[in-house]
Structure 1
Amino acid sequence: MSYKLMLVENDIVLSKAIQEYLIDQGFNVYIASNGLEAFNLANQYNFNLIISDIMMPLVNGYELLEKLQNTKALSKIPVIFLTAKGMTKDRIKGYDMGCYGYLSKPFDPEELVSLIKNLIARDISQHTSTEKCDISKQSINQKIHLTPREASVLDLVIDGLTNKEISTILDTSIRNVEKYVSRLLQKTNMKNRTLLVKYSINNKLLDNVTNQRANDGTRTRE
């Protein structure tokens, strides 16, 4: 697989561990220790994806994403945030800025690989279709039916939980969670989890399935 990734992480031990794991999965992986170094590398190499920590010296993850988006040649590179920051407001900030995904440390490396593979699949789909997916053009009145289990999974995705965390809460396999997330993306015509969260919140997608969640036998949240 020729997919070229850049990992931006100031923890050298962690970055090496993640790099080795991703290389074993068949990816080309470059490493940067801060956002400034990452930005310089992005100008030298044609990356398909950037996986970045947020709290870093010189240029942090948010600043890196902003610099990329303000550079025409780099503005389309998707960014996955990998960080210890887990507060909802931090996830929302990343989503609002346009990050592709958001994983909180500690994380399951399989979850990261799943995000990457989903991005690859979406890229392939975009190249073979002229359909443009724009959340601002989605009809608020569009009727989308969710099964009780899909509603439960969506509820947890909006909370920013990983597939592994969702599988534990719902007492099911990670593979099943991935299947439900894929269904949700198809039903909403969204290309990634970030847009799925935005679309669901903006269109109050879960408002009509409260009773379904209660009947699904999963957790009840305040």
Structure 2
Amino acid sequence: MQKILIVDDDRTLRAAITRYLEDRGFVVNSAASGLAGFNSFSQEVPDLIVSDIVMPDMDGFELCTKIRNTDAGQLLPFIFLSARSELEDRIQGHTLGADDYLVKPFHPRELIAKIEAQLARADRIRFQIELALQNAHPRLGREKSPLPLTPAEEKVFWEVIQGYTNKKIGTHLFISPRTVQTHLSSILSKLELENRSQLIRYAFENGYTPLQNT
């Protein structure tokens, strides 16, 4: 399951976002300040961070800068969620390395859409990096073994390892996103994996690349 770190000094909002994300299958950690958020990141690197800007101890801008200066945080998806709506604030957020910026008040569905888009983008980047490494060092890839999947699941498998969202996979395969998720859950169970990121790594380590899907 993918892990999200929420950093915001508003306890009520933190709790509401946490419940909303957990109901949708995410594992959520939270912190009440930038400093606490950085400490949480240092102890366990999440898959994505959502952060307020105005907070005690360390603001969101400094938090983003410190995270981007670490090896683990250079490509980590980072979304600002702030009441500061001025153009200069949004520009500064992106300049410091944020991947997206959502202004409060917001609709939870928009936050989910931004989170899913950034996670999918991170998966695509990770896959391309691993594919480049495999092409540079062919011996890193192992000979493929047959996938223990149904034909429908295998089609979803090839789409997922390219970093596509459930909605886009559904469009490609002419099935609903809910059906895609059903197949994905079955794939993860059969391969004894927990999430999309692990599935992409499994594909890389076992010699599965889209170029071989012929």
Could you say which TM-score interval applies, normalised by the shorter chain? Answer: 0.5 to 0.7
Aligned amino acid, residue 92 of structure 1: I
Shift of 1:97: 1.0
CA radius of gyration, larger in: 2
Shift of 1:81: 0.3
Runs (4+) off by over 6 Å:
none
Aligned amino acid, residue 31 of structure 2: A
Within 5 Å, which residues of 2 pair with 1:42-191?
A: 42-129=41-128
What is the aligned partner in structure 2 of residue 38 from structure 1? 37
Shift of 1:73: 2.9
Shift of 1:124: 2.7
Task: Tell me the distance in 2 between the aligned counterparts of 1:58 and 1:106.
Answer: 24
Identity of aligned residues (%): 40
Q: What per-residue deviation string (whole Å, max 9, x for no partner) do you get for residues 86-120 of structure 1?
A: 00010000111110110110001101100111122
Shift of 1:74: 2.6
Task: Tell me the distance in 2 between the aligned counterparts of 1:122 and 1:78.
Answer: 9
- SS class of match (1:103): strand
Task: Tell me the distance in 2 between the aligned counterparts of 1:114 and 1:125.
Answer: 17
Task: Tell me the distance in 1 between the aligned counterparts of 2:59 and 2:127.
Answer: 35
Do the aligned partners of 2:45 and 2:72 also contact (CA within 8 Å) in 1? no
Q: What per-residue deviation string (whole Å, max 9, x for no partner) do you get for residues 171-215 of structure 1?
A: xxxx9xxxxxxxxxxxxxxxxxxxxxxxxxxxxxxxxxxxxxxxx
Q: Scaled by the length of structure 2, what TM-score is found?
A: 0.58
CA RMSD of aligned residues (A): 2.0
Shift of 1:72: 2.3
Do the aligned partners of 2:77 and 2:119 also contact (CA within 8 Å) in 1? no
Shift of 1:77: 1.8
Distance 1:123 1:19, change over 3 A: same
Shift of 1:127: 3.5
Count the aligned residue pairs.
Answer: 133
- SS class of match (2:28): strand
Distance 1:71 1:127, change over 3 A: closer
